[in-house]
Chain A
């Protein structure tokens, strides 16, 4: 099951040319671009591992693509990789754009767990099948 998080996730995966242009757009806006990866696809998993430092001082998207390719070399196929852009402007001070660039070859998706509580009430929760296995061995 293809997970949909961040921008563009209902579109076909962006190609490198499209990623480059999105990144350049972020840089031109003065946002710091980050590369992050994780093998826990749960939507509430907000803080992914960072690949290197936020890139405050890279004026051209090629510099970010250079790091993205290095991150792919280390993690592609077994992790999700995303690019995010942080706007440090006062009153924004938050992410302005985030999108997935790479995903594992096989995404097993989520189980829906039902928990019976307080008599006949039911609580629902989702659990990624991948998360059954230990970190680093999920995909």
Chain B
């Protein structure tokens, strides 16, 4: 048999001391790794200035709270449940991952993993199915962050026997009683989240931080595209850059536009066309050929002929 052997308790932390003792917040900021996570966030994510600002503020708050606790000033753990509102593809999931890391660095969650779920993962199909499903998810998320995408689907007022209500009640209970064990982030469109909170005041009172994700500008979307391509070892030729600029402008005005996600999808299709073009050319290819996306790979998109770009693409001719 193997087991943990009890270690002696660590010495109690310094008591308040008439201002004699001091905690260097700057050093804490660096040592906790928070500085690095926030810097990475700044460089990895395009735009999102208000979001980054709020994350820094929350980070500072937690750092100060931690310092206060060490002086014995306050023992209750802060409420960290959050809501992320914004249109699809504005980076909510991406930021939630970083948030989990930030909370882990600061010691507010023990493991720092992110469990992403939607209504289907929480709500069952028949009586007695919902509670075990919701509890299963909560169990997996403990020690980390539970991200509930499109949280408002949990609440279906038009059906009073809807099982979503059961999931909501279990969630609320755990959010209240086990604040040390997990942090819940609710995400979705701003207006629907607002209605959800109005109908479920229990959630509103348990969510401490509301963060709004604005839509990206055309320039930001192009920068996001460049990031994505760079990450996959591709680049746009100068002509393709111009084509992509026009693509983004047109696509933004079309229905079902999903910010960063539309950019990612468009580039995935461009890569497909590039591969087809290289294959059809029947010439040996260089590393340069393999990494370069040409204007024609982008211009073949249906966006330019008035249609919405969607999978599968038109044959690139």
- List A residues at the B interface (Cβ < 8 Å): 6-8, 18, 21-22, 25, 29, 55, 57-64, 66-67, 70, 96-99
Contacts and interface: CB of A to CB of B under 8 A. Distances in A.
Contacts of A8: 3
Interface stretch (B86-94, B133-141, B191-199): B133-141
Interface of B: 1-4, 6, 110-111, 113, 135, 138-144, 178, 180-182
A94 to B, nearest CB: 11
A55 B3 CA distance: 18
A7 B1 contact: yes
B6 to A, nearest CB: 7
B3 A7 contact: yes
Given A66-B135, A66-B139, A67-B139, A59 B144 contact: yes
Question: Considering the complex of A and B, which 6 residue pairs feature the smallest CB-CB distances, nearest first?
Answer: A60-B143, A63-B139, A62-B142, A62-B181, A63-B142, A25-B4
Contacts of B111: 59-60
Nearest to B132: A52
Contact of A97 (B1, B143, B178, B180): B1
A71 B1 CA distance: 24
A55 B138 CA distance: 13
B131 to A, nearest CB: 10
Interface centre among B2, B138, B141, B182 (most CB of A within 10 A): B2
B2 A63 contact: no
A22 B7 CA distance: 12
Contacts of A67: 135, 139
A82 B139 CA distance: 19
